[in-house]
Amino acid sequence: MNQNSLYIKENEHQLHLRHIWSTPNGVPVLMLHGTIENGKIFYTESGKGLACYLAEQGFDVYVADFRGKGKSTPPIHENAQHGQFEIITKDIPLLIDEVVKRNSKKMHVICHSWGGVLFASTLARFPEKLAHIASNVCFGTKRSVLTSGFEKTLKVNLIWNSLAPKLAKRKGYIDAKKLRFGADSETLLFLKDSIDWVKPGKWQDRNDGFSYQEAAKNISWPPTWHITGVSDKVLGNVKDVQAFIDESYNNEAKLSLLSKESGNALNYDHINILTHPLSIDDHFPEVVNWLKSHS
């Protein structure tokens, strides 16, 4: 298996794209991470993770780091002035174009968590990009958190919606890794943008008023599969995943809940659905089958 780093210039930013492959000219797969994380949710340099597994199966894999995240430069800092808007309107279109430039086949796009919301938003705003997309697989993707309970109150209401913005105002950004509740930083603007959507309400851009909710109704979406774990109670609760399907994919996306009761190796949560060693023999082969059936 081979790995190298590619960089895409976007004004003062260099977007990092990890290229992983074992055979040349395979079917391309673009992978997009979620909030307070980076592309490492999908791979390790030693060859672990879904991205490396797919490369071993012959796919041509590209794992993105959004601006300021992972190996993208410059890293998020106190004066960073970008949020969701720039990722939706600049980063993701550029990443799609880069994969198209390197591989003429239609690509599959695999997202984790909030990455699925950002990707759907890009397609709703730029439907011409649909011509390059063969299918979409989302792990633990929801937009609004509609569930209730202690864990939701702690992780969403207290930490994400209240504490994180206050800390970000002091430093200019939220250093989630240092605070030990995430793998990477987020800007204050990104926090504000995402909080607007996490709270039940309109799927609308706070920068220019663009209605993703209305645009989504007119999209012929690619074949889409949403996967979440039964132990993912808040960040990818199955009811919230279904609610996102209802508002974004016109009820046409497939939904799977991974659990022991359903025959899976364990009751997966928001992170180990991608990182647990048992995934390789559990649901990863099913992902490969899905991709091959839609290539």
The structural domains of the chain, with segments of one domain joined by +, span: 2-144+209-293
Q: Are residues 80 and 60 in contact, defined by beta-carbon separation less than 8 angstroms? A: no
CATH of domain 2-144+209-293: 3.40.50.1820
Strands of 133-139's sheet in order across = 2-10, 13-21, 60-65, 28-32, 107-112, 133-139, 224-229, 254-258
**Taking 80 as the threshold, does the pLDDT of residue 149 lie above it?**
yes
Q: Which of 223, 247, 249, 227 is nearest to 236 (CA)?
A: 227
For residues 65 and 79, give the distance between their C-alpha atoms in angstroms, rounded to a whole number: 19
pLDDT digit string (tens) for 34-56?
999 999 999 999 999 999 999 99
Mean pLDDT score, 194-202: 93
Would you state the pLDDT for residue 209?
A: 96
pLDDT digit string (tens) for 263-295?
999 999 999 999 999 999 999 999 999 999 998
Would you state the pLDDT for residue 179?
A: 83
